[in-house]
Structure 1
Amino acid sequence: MKHLRLLLNFYVHSSIHVALAVLAMTYVTLLELDLAVDWSLLFFVMFSTITGYNFVKYFGLAKFHHRSLANWLKIIQVFSLVCFLLMIWFALQLVPQVLVWVGIFGLVTFLYAVPFLPRHLFMDQKSNLRNIGGIKVYVIAVVWAGVTVLLPVLNQDARFDLSVWITALQRFILVILLMLPFEIRDLQYDSLRLATIPQKIGVKNTKIIGIVLAMVFLMFEFVKPNVTYKLILLTMVITIITVLFIVFSSQEREDYYSSFWVEGVPIIWLILHFVF
């Protein structure tokens, strides 16, 4: 059991799980918009997610403790380097217009982790996008929506019709919903100046807002052109699962409630697509 626990810790903390979630959400886009499955894009999304997330999570640790890094962090560093090289390899197989947007999303990720703004204006003397009050969840949602919807459409030179934009908006809403259990969990640790949603309106109201947003997410499915009963059913199921995770979230939940189960919702979504 000890070894299994160590493997699970590595799987989660090295961002493999979240990378598979982003890959799954991208795959769902390909299925829902009737686009060809492009493994070069899917692998690029997976390896770039690992690279980006590990950079954001461990930049500060590596910067200030590089001579005394714990063994687990050294392993994650090496793993991230391998993923970065694989990301470059698969990026070279994408079309040029995709690479332009990859550069934009990559810049946002870089600024999310690296201080670049006047320190006296922001929280805890950290001046990156991650610490600007109230925008953290929206930055993440924009990047996820862009990567999982816009990149697949651009890479196949498909038309940006109403279905694409509705799908992108749904992804934006879904990522915000999936972030709420994290914000509730971290309520006791986050600086008040971060102005997270639970800090501003409380846990109960956060859950209410989550339920309302989930209903909006579901309703958008009904206004898509050429929507099918299968897609409506799958969207209903994933909405219910997401709402339940939000309703039962609390500050006392263990880390894996959010970092494994909640982040696994897109993976469940893809599995349901295959099952049905």
Structure 2
Amino acid sequence: MKFLKRVFAFYINSSIHVALAVVALLAITVLEYNLTIVKPFWGFLFLAALTGYNFVKYAKVAGLHHRSLTHSLKLIQVFSAVCFALLIYFALQLRLAVLLLTIGFGMATFLYAVPVIRSKNLRNFSGIKIFVVAFVWAGVSVILPFVASKVAITPDVLLTFFQRMLIVVALILPFEIRDVPYDGLNLKTLPQQLGVKNTKLLGLIILLLCLVVEFFKEYSEISYLASLLIFCVVLGWLLVISKTHQTRYFASFWVEGLPLMWLLLYLLFEQF
């Protein structure tokens, strides 16, 4: 049992779970617009998300405590290094346009973690943390696959991009609520500025707006809309029951894994 707990902890802490969530959002876009994506792109995006998240989470810790890192963190470092090497391998098989756009999103991730603007990183600029993450997630899961598949970006795609940003903001809110006791007041996160109760209300409004956006698209599948509706209801429920003192994996497993549930629902409804 201890071994399984360690494996599960590594699965969460090494960002495998969040990388799968990003790939799930990519798969939803591919299904919605019937895109054709080369196989290396899937591996590239998974590894980019994994190494990017590990960089954001552990770069500062590793820099400050390099010689006294715990065994688990050293293991994550080695794992991330191997993944980065594989990332380069997949990157060499992709078009230059895809790589340049990825570098753009990667720079946003880099600036999120590294203090280069007035000795601050983007995370420390009041109120913009959540929108940086939403922009990057939406960009790599909606815009990037269109560039990779050489398909024109239509107004419907831009609506999906906006919709995906709303979804990611709503997904982050349970994390923001969890981190209230630990975040510095200078971050001015939504729960700090609005309070936990009003943040939950805002999240529900965002999810409602996300559903409304779907009706402005020129073309919308019933299977996509049905899966999106269930996803929003489940996320809304998890948001409502979110607390500042959560169980260990409430946000990092259950909330973060919701895109995987959404993808499975979409695939299921596609069969009917």
- Is 2:15–2:53's contact at 8 Å kept on the other side of the alignment? yes
Contact 2:37 2:148 in 1 (8 A): no
Structure 2 residues without counterparts, runs of 5 or longer = none
What do you get for the CA RMSD once the two structures are aligned? Answer: 1.0
Report the equivalent of 1:81. Answer: 81
- The one-character-per-residue Cα deviations of 1:127-148 (angstroms, maximum 9, x if unpaired) are 1111111110000000001000
In the alignment, what sits opposite 1:244? 237
Structure 2 residue identity aligned to 1:62: A
Instruction: For residue 106 of structure 1, report the CA deviation from its aligned partner.
Output: 1.1
Partner of residue 23, structure 1 = 23
Q: Residues 27 and 37 of structure 1 are in contact (CA less than 8 Å); yes or no, is this contact kept in structure 2?
A: no
1:129 pairs with 2:119: no
Cα distance, 1:117 vs structure 2:
2.4
Kindly state the Cα deviation for residue 37 of structure 1 after the two structures are TM-superposed. Answer: 4.2
1:143-182 equivalences under 5 Å are 143-182=136-175
Deviation at 1:168, TM superposition (A): 0.6
The answer on 1:42 being equivalent to 2:70 is no
Alpha-carbon distance in structure 2 between the residues aligned to 1:174 and 1:132: 22
Counterpart residue type for residue 113 of structure 2: A
Residue type at the aligned position of 1:36: T
In structure 2, the partner of 1:59 is 59
Amino acid at match of 2:59: F
What letter is aligned with 2:38?
A: D
Residue-pair matches, total = 269
Percent identity of the aligned residues? 46
- Separation (CA, whole Å) in 1 of partners of 2:121 and 2:224: 39
Contact 2:37 2:149 in 1 (8 A): no
Residue of structure 1 equivalent to 2:187: 194
What does residue 123 of structure 1 align with? none
The equivalent residue for 1:229 is 222
- Give me the whole-angstrom Cα distance separating, in 1, the residues matched to 2:38 and 2:142: 13
CA distance in 2, matches of 1:166, 1:128: 29
2-structure distance, mates of 1:160, 1:238? 25
- Measure the CA separation in 1 of the matches of 2:161 and 2:38: 19
Secondary structure at 1:99's aligned position in 2? helix
Give 1:38 shift: 3.2
Q: Give the TM-score taking structure 2 as reference length.
A: 0.97
The separation in 2 between residues aligned to 1:112 and 1:137, in whole angstroms, is 10
Q: Which amino acid aligns with 1:39?
A: K
Cα distance in structure 2, aligned partners of 1:252 and 1:68:
29
Per-residue CA deviations over 1:116-163 (Å, capped at 9, x if unaligned) read 1224xxxxxxx1111111110000000001000011000111011112
- Name which of 259, 263, 267 aligns with 2:252: 259
Provide structure 1 residue ranges, at least 5 long, that are not aligned to the other structure. 120-126
